[in-house]
Amino acid sequence: MSKRKQHAPEFKAKVALEALKGEETVSELASRFGVHPTMIHQWKRALLEGASDVFELGGKRKPEIDEDQVKELHAKIGELAVANDFFVQKAQALGREVRRGMIEPRHPDLSVGKQCSLLSISRSSFYYAPKGESEMNLTLMRQIDEQFPLLGVAAQRLSGDGRRRSSGSGR
């Protein structure tokens, strides 16, 4: 299987301009330049469609890349990444409630989700507000505690002589 021939843009422009001149037929141009007539038609159409772009303001040139500026920007990105890592580590050392209090919901540039991510807390925990127990449940719990003082974990841990009770699982 033969590989397709790649033609340089300069060659395509030269052939398309010759076709625009109309001095030779497309078949003659095809045999002269060694390309298929369909390709000449495509290149001619592309030249006509793109001709107005030549006269655009300033033309469409490749942007010039200033290597010094690129190096400077890469250095700045590195500095910011190191500073960001430093502050993330310091923030993680703080308690969760302190970090939760640092979030600014109306921050103009950072969403709540991004702030939560930077402070290593889940976004849902920022919005979560504990509901608490109703007054009736608290009253019932107090009454149960008064009537059965050693019910629950404390009663399970201690047996009559102060040792742990075995659960019967062989441990």
Residue 44 lies inside a defined structural domain of this protein: yes
Residues 29 and 74 in one domain: no
Residue 27 lies in a domain: yes
Distance (Å, whole) CA 111 – CA 123: 10
Per-residue pLDDT of the chain (171 residues; tens, 9 = 90+): 567 788 888 999 999 999 998 888 999 999 999 999 999 999 999 988 888 777 776 655 666 788 888 999 999 999 999 988 888 888 888 888 888 888 898 988 888 998 888 888 888 888 888 888 899 999 998 888 888 777 655 655 665 545 555 555 554
Shared domain check, 50 and 13: yes
Give the chain's length.
Answer: 171
Examine residue 135 and state whether it is found in any structural domain, yes or no: no
pLDDT at 135: 92
Cα(30)–Cα(35) distance, rounded to whole angstroms? Answer: 5
The per-residue pLDDT for 57 is 62
pTM comes to 0.38
Decide if 105 is inside a domain.
Answer: yes
In-domain check, residue 149: no
Cα distances (angstroms) measured from residue 151 to each of 29, 118, 145, 164? 102, 44, 8, 15
Q: How many domains does the chain have?
A: 2
Q: Residue 100 has what pLDDT?
A: 87
* Residue range of the domain that includes 26: 9-54
| Residue 142 covered by a domain | no
Q: Domain for residue 164, yes or no?
A: no
Rounded CA gap, 84 and 105, in Å? 20
pLDDT at position 36, please? 92
Asked whether residue 39 is assigned to any structural domain, the reply reads yes
Q: Which helix (H) or strand (E) holds 76?
A: helix 67-93
Q: What is the pLDDT of residue 163?
A: 53
Q: What is the pLDDT of residue 41?
A: 92
Give residue 74's pLDDT: 94
